[in-house]
Amino acid sequence: MSRRIIQCPGCGREIELYHNPAPTVDIVIRYQDGIVLIKRKQYPFGWALPGGFVDYGEDTVSAAVREAKEETSLDCEIIGLLGVYSNPQRDPRSHTISTVYVARGRGELRAADDAAEARCFSLERIPSGLAFDHGTILADYRVWHAGETG
């Protein structure tokens, strides 16, 4: 456990500060005949699922819907939980834990916010070099989707 002790500037008591992983969300958006990926404007670069950090006071479903709207301009309806991804190396910037949802997207797909580009890809034509652990997430989605349709 990573922690450190500091002194409270107000009362002088010792306070424990913990260094915890940051909660994030990612969202597999079904749109038209494929899924939506964004090309990231910021490091780490590459194609990625829409997603981001959960704001303080926000639940993960709301965060996923918000991030999807901010990055793709789509309105999303959550249809399932794909999984939780917690490998400490999944994000090269810091340790994150991502809750990943599957959703249906509606509206006009347009890149916004942290996305330089937003496009729909068939599962057979996913670009190589995905950011983060999104290759693993999409492999899990293929299994989830096959179980749903099979």
**Strand ranges for the chain from DSSP E:** 3-7, 14-18, 22-31, 34-40, 47-48, 51-53, 75-85, 96-106, 115-121
Catalytic residue among 67, 117, 124, 148: 117
Q: What global pTM score does this model have?
A: 0.89
Convert the pLDDT of each residue in 82-141 to its tens digit: 999 999 999 999 999 999 999 999 999 999 988 999 999 999 999 998 999 999 999 999
Query: Residue 13: how many CB atoms within 10 A of its CB?
Result: 8
- Provide φ and ψ at 25, rounded to 5°: -135, 150
Residues 21-149: name the CATH superfamily. Answer: Nucleoside Triphosphate Pyrophosphohydrolase (3.90.79.10)
Q: Residue 2: which pLDDT band, with cuts at 50, 70 and 90?
A: low
Domain regions of the chain by residue span = 21-149
Convert the pLDDT of each residue in 48-89 to its tens digit: 999 999 999 999 999 999 999 999 999 999 999 999 999 999
Q: Is 124 a catalytic residue?
A: no
